[in-house]
């Protein structure tokens, strides 16, 4: 059975100033998602599922339904407000986080699947690596995360936050440790660079999590249980969110699953702010010049 690619695309793009998930980055106005779809098709994926907000439906279908002749495309909605019987939940303006977004796809995915962010570029090789894992190794007790070398995820235009992976001798994830305000200074990578304390360095080859996961569909049940518990504990907090690392950490600690860290040599980049767009465009053009992608993706 071919794996599915689940693309989280329900963000509002408030920092970007628009619907960045479908903003043109490539030379023919392709958004980053199109490069993800292209790589997924070439790596053996059989279906794309978009998690979007209902109000984005027409925009997404007009942009991506044309790929239905190449790969099955489906859409699911991430709700902002959830009703739980006998529980009063404060009104919210944002959904309940990335784990909640994954759960939105439970009725359309019954095969192993990968999870990515819509506005992030993950690199061609990473799709081949995760596809091979999902087809041959993924089970209820063995799932995966694609790890990126820290040095290949940095920005030249400010500090970044990264989840640094602690890994055991068998390349299984122990936990993800959040490091903030990371920057390269004189070819050395530091974190907490804006603090007045002594700078702390990080190994440039450390694996970091960029929210790229490989899951067995059995995880939906665990996410639902964890999310309901989280909502009960945070029902009066309108900004609390239940993230994918929350459920992954819970399952690792309870020994319900192992998470294999699959290291890739690919470069990662994301589009968070409008200022990121020219950098993303230049990077895509370099890939085209070097022959990684054709000038026109779909010819």
Q: What is the 3-state secondary structure (H, E, C) of the chain?
A: CCCEEEEECCCCCCCCCCCHHHCCCCCCCCCHHHHHHHHHHHCCCCEEEEEECHHHHHHHHHHHHHHHHCCEEEEEECCCCCCECCECCCCCCCCCCHHHHHHCCCCCCCCCEEEEECCEECCHHHHHHHHHHHHHCCECCEEEEEEEEHHHCCCCCCCEEEEEEEECCCCEEEEEEEEEEEEEECCEEEECCCCCCCCEEECCCCEEEEEEEEECCCHHHHHHHHHHHHHHHCCCCCCCCCCHHHHHHHHHHCCCCEEEEEEECCCCEECCCHHHHHHHHHHHHHHHHCCCCCCCCCC
| pLDDT bracket for residue 91 (50, 70, 90) | confident
Q: What is the pLDDT of residue 155?
A: 81
Q: Terminus-to-terminus CA distance in the chain, angstroms?
A: 27
pLDDT tens track for 172-223: 999 999 898 898 988 999 998 876 667 789 999 999 999 999 999 999 999 9
pLDDT per residue over 217-257, tens digit each? 999 999 999 999 999 999 899 999 999 999 999 999 999 99
Name the least confident of 35-39, 82-86, 91-95, 232-236. Answer: 82-86
Is the model's pLDDT at 58 over the cut of 80? yes
Share of residues in the chain with pLDDT > 70 (%) = 96
Choose among 281, 268, 264, 261: nearest CA to 154: 268
> For the whole prediction, is pTM greater than 0.85?
yes
Q: Which of 198, 81, 216, 197 is nearest to 139 (CA)?
A: 216
Would you state the pLDDT for residue 16?
Answer: 45
pLDDT band at 12 (very low <50, low <70, confident <90, very high): low
Q: With 80 as the cut, is the pLDDT of residue 170 above it?
A: yes
Tokens of 251: 């399952």
- Cα(46)–Cα(148) distance, integer angstroms: 25
- pLDDT higher than threshold 60 for residue 167: yes
Q: Give the model's confidence band at 18: pLDDT under 50 very low, under 70 low, under 90 confident, else very high.
A: low
CA distance 216 to 143: 7
pLDDT over 90 percentage in the chain: 71
> Across residues 25-31, what is the average pLDDT?
91
Closest Cα partner for 11 from 166, 117, 144?
A: 117
What confidence tier does 36 reach under pLDDT thresholds 50, 70, 90? very high
Q: Which domains does the chain have, with CATH numbers?
A: 4-141+209-289 (3.90.550.10)
Mean of per-residue pLDDT scores for the chain: 91
pLDDT of residue 20: 66
Residue 157: pLDDT above 80?
no
Rounded CA-CA distance 224/276 in Å is: 35
Q: Which residues of 68-99 are buried (b: 16+ CB within 10 A; e: fewer)?
A: eeebebebbbbeeeeeeeeeebeebeebbbbb
């Amino acid at each position: 059975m071919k794996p599915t690619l689940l693309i989280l695309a329900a963000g509002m793009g408030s920092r970007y100033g628009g619907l960045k998930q479908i903003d043109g980055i490539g030379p023919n106005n392709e958004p980053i998602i199109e490069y993800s779809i292209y790589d997924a098709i070439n790596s053996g994926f059989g279906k794309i599922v978009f998690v979007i907000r209902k109000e984005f439906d027409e925009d997404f279908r007009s942009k991506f339904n044309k790929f239905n002749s190449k790969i099955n495309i489906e859409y699911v909605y991430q709700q902002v407000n959830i009703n739980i019987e006998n529980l009063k939940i404060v009104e919210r303006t944002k959904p309940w986080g990335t784990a909640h977004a994954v759960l939105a796809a439970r009725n359309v995915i019954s095969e192993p699947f990968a999870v990515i962010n819509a506005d992030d570029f993950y690199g061609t090789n990473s799709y081949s690596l995760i596809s091979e894992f999902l087809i041959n190794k993924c089970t209820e007790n063995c799932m995966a995360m694609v790890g990126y070398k820290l040095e290949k995820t940095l920005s030249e235009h400010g500090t970044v936050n990264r989840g640094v992976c602690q890994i055991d001798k068998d390349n299984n994830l122990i936990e993800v440790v959040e490091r903030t305000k990371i920057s390269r200074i004189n070819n050395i990578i530091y974190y907490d660079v804006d603090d007045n304390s002594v700078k702390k360095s990080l190994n440039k080859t450390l694996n970091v999590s960029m929210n790229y996961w490989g899951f067995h569909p059995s995880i939906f049940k665990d996410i639902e249980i964890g999310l309901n518990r989280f909502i009960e504990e945070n029902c009066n907090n309108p900004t609390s969110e239940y993230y994918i690392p929350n459920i992954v950490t819970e399952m690792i600690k309870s020994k319900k699953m192992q998470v294999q860290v699959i290291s890739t040599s690919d470069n990662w980049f994301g589009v968070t702010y409008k200022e990121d767009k020219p950098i993303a465009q230049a990077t895509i053009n370099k890939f085209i010049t070097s022959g990684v992608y054709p000038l026109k993706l779909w010819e």
